[in-house]
């Protein structure tokens, strides 16, 4: 089966709230796709529609080219973690997984495999009600992996995790994608997806604001700015401005330079005997790139409102 999710023109209204307003995107295999947007942007509703838990007013959602309700043994096509708290507290992790596995014709051996994959061996026979949030997230991921599905979908898997848990999930998600799966991960914090997502679908108000590779997004936001550390701030400013750069002082010994490449800056400072300790091309963080994106969409909305008056 093809490892993909295809969402086309989803619309969904809850009373007066337009939760989805033309949501469309593709999730491809071999990378983690981050599904990012502020609270209420429509991420969970989209995931629920993909899994057949909500019916859209319009549009379609396909897993490997087929709608969820038409899948036989769905756990073998798509694994999902929607709510890590949704488990029977009196049941052990192993029993919870055995019950799920039996419902889909999967073996107890597979249960032990996924327990090991997520690192829950030592607590698998303890009641899940006593699990920490991190252990519940691991159990939810184990359940999602039971059928060894080509498509995975996780709603806010970083929520409430400690730094160690976040690092673990990041690495684990990357390894699942490298195996050729399509992995969709929602988050409302861009920083959580740093070093994990290769592609991003950014949403706001029920529709897609940006659909881009992380590399392109960061390159676009990095803007060719260079950070220069020097004890001779005024001399450096004079030399670089003379060469056509725009220079701003950001700290007592730090300048931000635009309009000149790093190697050119090094040559100019050397030729004019201006001492410096560091020259570094600025690489925007995912968070900065996201802020840049959001700012653009806010400006766009403001212009639209003006224009419609």
Ligand X SMILES: Nc1ncnc2c1ncn2[C@@H]1O[C@H](COP(=O)(O)OP(=O)(O)OP(=O)(O)O)[C@@H](O)[C@H]1O
Q: Which of 7, 25, 31, 43 binds ligand X (CB under 6 A)?
A: 43
Q: Which of 10, 27, 32, 41 binds ligand X (CB under 6 A)?
A: 41
The residue whose two tokens read 């184990």 is 142
Return the number of the residue (40 or 134) whose C-beta is nearest ligand X: 40
CB of 63 to ligand X, least distance (A): 19
Q: Which of 5, 7, 10, 19 binds ligand X (CB under 6 A)?
A: 19
Q: Is 99 in the site for ligand X (CB under 6 A)?
A: no
Q: Is 45 in the site for ligand X (CB under 6 A)?
A: yes
The helix/strand/coil state of 44 is helix
Q: Which of 16, 39, 65, 130 binds ligand X (CB under 6 A)?
A: 39
Q: What are phi and psi of 195, to 5 degrees?
A: 65, 10
DSSP 127: B
The residue whose two tokens read 């881009």 is 212
HSE-CB of 64 using CA atoms within 13 angstroms: 19
Structure tokens at 45: 């509703």
Structure tokens at 207: 């529709």
Return the number of the residue (15 or 69) whose C-beta is nearest ligand X: 15
Residue 169 to residue 159: CA distance in whole angstroms: 11
Q: Is 34 in the site for ligand X (CB under 6 A)?
A: no
Chain positions 184 to 213 lying near ligand X, rule: CB under 6 A, are 188
Q: Is 42 in the site for ligand X (CB under 6 A)?
A: yes
Chain positions 100 to 159 lying near ligand X, rule: CB under 6 A, are none
Q: Report CA dihedral (72, 77, 82, 87) to the nearest 10 degrees.
A: 60
DSSP 92: B
Q: Is 55 in the site for ligand X (CB under 6 A)?
A: no
Residues in contact with ligand X by CB under 6 A are: 14, 17, 19, 37, 39-45, 188
């Amino acid at each position: 089966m093809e490892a993909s999710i295809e969402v086309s023109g989803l619309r969904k209204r809850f009373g007066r709230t337009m939760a989805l307003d033309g949501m469309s995107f593709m999730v491809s295999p071999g990378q983690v796709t981050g599904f990012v947007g502020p609270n209420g942007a429509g991420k969970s509703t989209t995931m629920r529609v993909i899994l057949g838990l909500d019916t859209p007013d319009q549009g379609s959602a396909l897993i490997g080219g087929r709608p969820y309700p038409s899948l036989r043994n769905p756990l073998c096509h798509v694994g999902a973690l929607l709510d890590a708290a949704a488990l029977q507290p009196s049941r052990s992790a192993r029993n919870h997984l055995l019950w799920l596995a039996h419902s889909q014709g999967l073996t107890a051996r597979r249960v032990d495999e996924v327990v090991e994959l997520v690192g829950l061996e030592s607590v698998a026979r303890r009641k899940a009600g006593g699990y920490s949030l991190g252990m519940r997230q691991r159990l939810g991921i184990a359940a999602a992996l039971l059928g060894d599905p080509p498509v995975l979908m996780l709603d806010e898997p970083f929520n409430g995790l400690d730094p160690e848990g976040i690092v673990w999930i990041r690495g684990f998600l990357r390894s699942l994608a490298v195996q050729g799966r399509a992995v969709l991960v929602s988050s409302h914090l861009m920083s959580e997806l740093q070093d994990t997502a290769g592609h991003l679908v950014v949403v706001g108000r029920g529709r897609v604001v940006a659909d881009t590779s992380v590399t392109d997004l960061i390159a676009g936001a990095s803007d060719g700015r260079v950070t220069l550390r020097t004890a001779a701030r005024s001399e450096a400013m004079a030399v670089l401005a003379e060469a056509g750069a725009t220079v701003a002082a950001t700290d007592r010994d730090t300048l931000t330079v635009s309009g000149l490449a790093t190697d050119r800056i090094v040559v100019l400072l050397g030729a004019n005997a201006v001492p410096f300790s560091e020259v570094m091309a600025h690489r925007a963080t995912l968070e900065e790139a996201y802020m840049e994106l959001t700012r653009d969409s806010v400006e766009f909305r403001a212009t639209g409102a003006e224009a419609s008056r």
